[in-house]
């Protein structure tokens, strides 16, 4: 079963147009990306504006947060599902590894109808500092 990381986008970004992997500059994003590249078969970014981004995809700077309203989150998550289904159509079974906050994980898990054995959320319930510490510990143990 392939492990695909779904990394939450970050607020800290470079101005201009960059590859997705280079656009986001925050410690949480860069730590999650390093973890994903070391432990997963591939990674994608869950974007508040663009839904799903591939790491090498060129993207312009934007300033948008994931919607807080239930209805808006469902609409966003349906588009995420549509894009993931397109990307992974006809492939072997996938186990998603969420490296994102609850505002991203919950709606996507619900929209995809994922069961517990189909995904991991290793930083579930951790606050920002705890997430950074967890990622640092993972890096140190490799």
For residue 110, count other CB atoms closer than 10 A to its CB: 13
Q: Report the C-alpha dihedral over residues 136, 137, 140, 142, rounded to 10 degrees.
A: -110
CA–chain centroid gap for 123, Å, is 12
- Identify the pLDDT of residue 32: 98
- Identify the pLDDT of residue 141: 85
pTM: 0.95
When pLDDT is cut at 50, 70 and 90, the band that residue 91 belongs to is confident
The mean pLDDT value of the chain amounts to 95
- Is pLDDT at 90 greater than 90 in this prediction? no
pLDDT digits (tens, 9 = 90+) for 39-65: 999 999 999 999 999 999 999 999 998
pLDDT digits (tens, 9 = 90+) for 103-122: 999 999 999 999 999 999 99
pLDDT digits (tens, 9 = 90+) for 22-36: 999 999 999 999 999
């Amino acid at each position: 079963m392939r492990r695909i990381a779904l990394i939450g986008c970050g607020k800290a970004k470079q101005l201009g147009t960059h590859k997705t992997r280079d656009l986001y500059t925050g410690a949480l994003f860069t730590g999650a990306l390093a973890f994903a590249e070391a432990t997963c078969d591939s990674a994608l970014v869950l974007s508040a504006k663009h839904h799903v981004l591939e790491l090498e995809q060129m993207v312009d700077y934007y300033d948008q947060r994931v919607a807080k309203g239930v209805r808006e989150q469902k609409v966003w998550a349906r588009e995420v599902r549509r894009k993931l289904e397109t990307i992974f159509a006809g492939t072997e079974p996938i186990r998603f590894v969420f490296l994102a906050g609850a505002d991203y994980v919950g709606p996507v898990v619900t929209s995809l109808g994922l069961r517990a054995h189909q995904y991991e959320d290793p930083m579930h319930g951790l606050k920002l500092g705890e997430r950074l510490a967890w990622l640092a510990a993972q890096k140190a143990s490799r």
